Chains A and B, each alone.
Chain A
Amino acid sequence: SQQGEEDPQALSIQEGENATMNCSYKTSINNLQWYRQNSGRGLVHLILIRSNEREKHSGRLRVTLDTSKKSSSLLITASRAADTASYFCATVSGAGSYQLTFGKGTKLSVIP
């Protein structure tokens, strides 16, 4: 069963604009992770945020986590054509859990 649900399913923006993707989940989590998948490739880990963290940055990426709303957002600032990919959130439930439960992803297109 899916835990994370990304929104929107698809997003198209101009190069230089910011892109925001959202993720909602159903049960309590240990951590939430964001991954990127370029067409025809494997997933690449972007950022991990723990349940006791509210915000995390990595380069042009900013992730927020609101455990009271069971939601997270991924912001990509100053987007580039190379950011075109699908973005997935994945949750790890509870301490000692191992299973990453993925959503179906947001397909981001950055138009040059």
Chain B
Amino acid sequence: DAGVIQSPRHEVTEMGQEVTLRCKPISGHNSLFWYRQTMMRGLELLIYFNNNVPIDDSGMPEDRFSAKMPNASFSTLKIQPSEPRDSAVYFCASSLAAYNEQFFGPGTRLTVL
């Protein structure tokens, strides 16, 4: 298996633009997580999906953030409109069960100018 795949790896955009981050979890994993990592706040859970259903989105910072999981092999995290404070590394992770070990993707480094 190729592991968790994220795209793009790097994204530079201007304030106000829409940003879409993509994730392909490991086949057979039923839990998917989106995290954000910054120096100031460390790793923060944004949203958790179980069997493609959003279970907990309490970590999504604002209405500007939205996430979808239309099927078991694909998820998106969208920021619209983006702001400079959204600059961070965004990770997607998947696991066989929510409390088990998580497998992380390589991350998307987002820079909003």
Contacts and interface: CB of A to CB of B under 8 A. Distances in A.
Interface of A: 2, 30-31, 33, 35, 41-45, 48, 88, 92, 96-105
Interface residues of B, number: 22
B42 A102 contact: yes
Contact of A42 (B31, B50, B98, B104): B104
Nearest to B50: A98
Interface string B41-54: 01101001010000
Contacts of B63: none
16 contacts: A2-B42, A31-B99, A33-B101, A41-B106, A41-B107, A42-B93, A42-B104, A42-B105, A45-B101, A45-B103, A48-B100, A96-B99, A98-B31, A98-B56, A99-B56, A101-B45
Given A43-B93, A98-B50, A101-B45, 14 more contacts: A2-B42, A30-B99, A33-B102, A41-B106, A41-B107, A43-B43, A43-B102, A44-B104, A92-B99, A98-B48, A98-B98, A99-B45, A99-B48, A99-B56
